[in-house]
Amino acid sequence: MDCLFCKIAAGQIPARKLYEDDQVVAFHDIGPQAPVHFLVIPKKHIPTLNDLTEDDKALTGHMLHTAQRLAKEQGCDEGFRVVMNCNELGGQTVFHIHMHVLGQRALHWPPG
């Protein structure tokens, strides 16, 4: 499949990986928007949040727990942000779902 994040998950394209298990991979974003900015992706190819099914509940819960644990490991104990963009209108550019985890700087809301 011609999907960038499937290739990163499979090790076919290099990435600075933080964590990997049988379900998820976490790696540093290539264009960091904060001192800490990594992505958590499922190994399963799911194009957008609109494609989630009931069967993905445990997987997406695992992604969130992974994000929380790694944020702490990256020194973001005092606060961090988790973002998921859905489709072009939501700012999505890579069509394999991913959680952005940003931290180590003051983050404001709304983001603009």
Whether residue 108 lies in the annotated active site: no
Q: Which tokens sit at 110?
A: 């709304």
H or E element, residue 103 = strand 99-103
Residue 101 and residue 38 in contact, taking contact as beta carbons nearer than 8 Å: yes
Give CA–CA dist 46/88, Å, rounded.
15
Q: Is 43 in the site for Zn ion (CB under 5 A)?
A: no
Q: What is the contact surface with ligand 5GP in residues (CB under 6 A)?
A: 4, 15, 27-31, 85, 91-94
Rounded least distance, CB 36 to ligand 5GP, Å: 13
**Which of these is catalytic: 37, 96, 98, 100?**
98
Give the active site residues.
Answer: 98
Residue ranges binding Zn ion (CB under 5 A)? 3, 5-6, 45, 96
